[in-house]
Amino acid sequence: MLSDKVDKVPDKIENIQDLEGVGPVTAGKLTDAGFDSVEALAVAPIREVMDKANLESSAVTKIIKAARQAIQLDFINAKELWEKRQGMLKLTTGAKNFDRLLGGSGVETQAITEFVGEFGTGKSQLCMKLSITAQQPQKDGGLEGKILFIDTEGTFAPQRIHQMAQAMQLEPEKILEGIFYSRVYNSDHQILAVDRSFKLCQEENIKLLIVDSVLSHFRSEYIGRENLSERQQKLNAHLHKLTRIAQALNLAVVVTNQVQANPQAFFGDPTRPAGGHILAHASTHRIMLRKASGGLRAAKVIDSPFLPESETFYRITEKGIEDATPKARRED
Ligand code: ADP
Ligand code: MG
């Protein structure tokens, strides 16, 4: 179900069959193609519905318009936008300073948060930690929802979640039950997993959708300059879908990303996030992670529309991640 805070529509059309222009046959085609709810249709691109459901452009245009009207998606005034933002929830990382870095109370719903960093900086640890905190009550910084964890690298570790939950004095088995897991083996599989996730997210009250990591398959499959534009096109559509899910269902999307060498950097950081402008544009918040001295890690906000660029330190522990203070605040 849509969160009460997002969905304020009085006479809600529940079924796609009740939309103007949708008869039983069309409803069947749409459902088979994965567009089985009014919300899914309202946020779908026309082209995609045409292709997947094998329907005419004029019919699809009409249906999408009806779906948007049904959930009043087309025009909202700034007050409604403000109200929608008020419905935004925050998800704690379990570490105060880290949450503060993220703007106060952690990761936001209705947005994509991207954790970028080299291997071993704790990206997957963070994702696993958030899979636990997201299930906690809102008063404890959670989202009171379930998690969809899309794993592209096979590094999701239920035993690690079990350990963290135990260390946090929660019931590990209950926590594990609240996580839907999907191991995806290539970029098309990844795209499909997200395309199909709308219904699951809605029905199962998913409040956190993780893609760890978002780019690895794309990077290994589309090699060479000649394939870059196709890659970026697919990636763009994929990220837009994630954004729409985040907004339509008031859930948090967290993606991880690696760094790549930045040949243009004569000064400063010789690495930059992979994925180019497309990913930079799609992520609402980007957090750069790095290894610091003494086994610590440092996190820094980059490119945020409203968060200040500051740095905080953390340590990976039994409980997941914890705030830390470096011995000498000099950077290594
Ligand atoms: P990334 O996803 O950024 O490549 P990970 O999230 O997999 O990195 O983090 C790996 C790091 O986490 C390693 O340095 C490892 O030592 C540390 N780590 C994993 N489990 C634990 C644990 N139970 N206690 C402390 N550190 C851990
Ligand atoms: Mg990882």
DSSP sequence for 17-81: GGSTT--HHHHHHHHHTT--SHHHHHTS-HHHHHHHHT--HHHHHHHHHHHHHHTT-S---HHHH
Distance CA 106, CA 8 (A): 26
Burial class, 296, CB count within 10 angstroms (exposed 0-12 / middle 13-18 / buried 19+): middle
pLDDT bucket at 10, cuts 50 / 70 / 90: very low
pLDDT bucket at 305, cuts 50 / 70 / 90: low
Ligand 1 pocket check: which of 116, 119, 125, 163 to mutate, most ligand atoms within 8 Å of Cβ?
125
pLDDT bucket at 74, cuts 50 / 70 / 90: low
**Separation of 125 CA from ligand 1 center, angstroms?**
6
Question: Which numbered ligand comes closest to the C-alpha of 116?
Answer: 1
Q: In 3-state terms, what secondary structure has residue 287?
A: strand
Q: What integer is the mean pLDDT of 71-100?
A: 85
| 189-211 pLDDT, tens digit each | 999 999 999 989 999 999 999 99
Q: What integer is the mean pLDDT of 139-148?
A: 98
Distance CA 273, CA 145 (A): 30
Short-list 77, 70, 11, CA closest to 40: 70
pLDDT bucket at 2, cuts 50 / 70 / 90: very low
Q: What integer is the mean pLDDT of 34-41?
A: 89
Query: Which residues are close to ligand 2, an ion, with C-beta < 5 A?
Result: 123-124, 155
Phi-psi region of 111 (alpha: psi -120 to 50; beta: other; left: phi over 0): beta
Q: In 3-state terms, what secondary structure has residue 166?
A: helix
**Separation of 55 CA from ligand 1 center, angstroms?**
48
* Amino acid in the structure at residue 104: G
Tell which wins on pLDDT, 101 or 69.
101
Burial 255-267 (b: 16+ CB within 10 A, else e): bbbbbeeeeeeee
pLDDT given at position 221: 96
pLDDT given at position 322: 97
Question: Which numbered ligand comes closest to the C-alpha of 157?
Answer: 1
Residue listed under structure tokens 């196709």:
230
Other Cβ atoms less than 10 A from the Cβ of 177: the count is 11
In the beta sheet, which residues pair with residue 148?
180, 209
Q: In the predicted model, what is the mean pLDDT of the chain?
A: 90
Q: What are phi and psi of 158, to 5 degrees?
A: -60, -35
Whether the per-residue pLDDT at 9 is higher than 60: the answer is: no
> Which ligand 1 atom is at minimum distance from the Cα of 213?
2
**Separation of 297 CA from ligand 1 center, angstroms?**
11
pLDDT bucket at 332, cuts 50 / 70 / 90: very low
pLDDT given at position 267: 73
pLDDT given at position 328: 65
Residue-range domain boundaries for the chain: 16-70, 84-331
Q: Are 303 and 280 in contact (CB under 8 A)?
A: yes
**Separation of 252 CA from ligand 2 center, angstroms?**
19
- Residues 85, 89, 95, 100, Cα dihedral to 10°: 10
| Dihedral sign of CA atoms 152, 179, 116, 314 in order | negative
Whether this model's pTM surpasses 0.85? no
| 241-273 pLDDT, tens digit each | 999 899 989 999 999 999 988 877 677 777 889
Q: What integer is the mean pLDDT of 65-77?
A: 77
Distance CA 178, CA 175 (A): 5
Peptide linkage before 213 cis (omega within 30 of 0): yes
| 120-131 pLDDT, tens digit each | 999 999 999 999
pLDDT given at position 320: 97
Ligand 1 pocket check: which of 316, 319, 321 to mutate, most ligand atoms within 8 Å of Cβ?
316
Distance CA 295, CA 292 (A): 6
- H helices, E strands: number in the chain: 14, 13
CATH number for the segment(s) 84-331: 3.40.50.300
Whether the per-residue pLDDT at 52 is higher than 60: the answer is: yes
| 97-110 pLDDT, tens digit each | 999 999 888 999 99
Q: What are phi and psi of 92, to 5 degrees?
A: -75, 145
Domain 16-70 has CATH 3.30.70.2740: no
Burial class, 24, CB count within 10 angstroms (exposed 0-12 / middle 13-18 / buried 19+): exposed
> Which ligand 1 atom is at minimum distance from the Cα of 289?
3
* Amino acid in the structure at residue 326: P
Q: What integer is the mean pLDDT of 313-324?
A: 97
Q: Are 89 and 138 in contact (CB under 8 A)?
A: yes
Question: Which numbered ligand comes closest to the C-alpha of 120?
Answer: 1
Fold agreement (16-70, 84-331): no
pLDDT given at position 72: 67
pLDDT bucket at 173, cuts 50 / 70 / 90: very high
Q: What integer is the mean pLDDT of 21-40?
A: 92
Question: Is there an atom of ligand 1 within 6 Å of 318 CB?
Answer: yes
Instruction: Output the CA angle 89-6-10, nearest 5 degrees.
Output: 155
Classify residue 294 by its DSSP letter.
G
Range with lowest mean pLDDT among 68-82, 118-132, 167-181: 68-82
Q: What integer is the mean pLDDT of 55-80?
A: 84
> Which ligand 1 atom is at minimum distance from the Cα of 122?
6
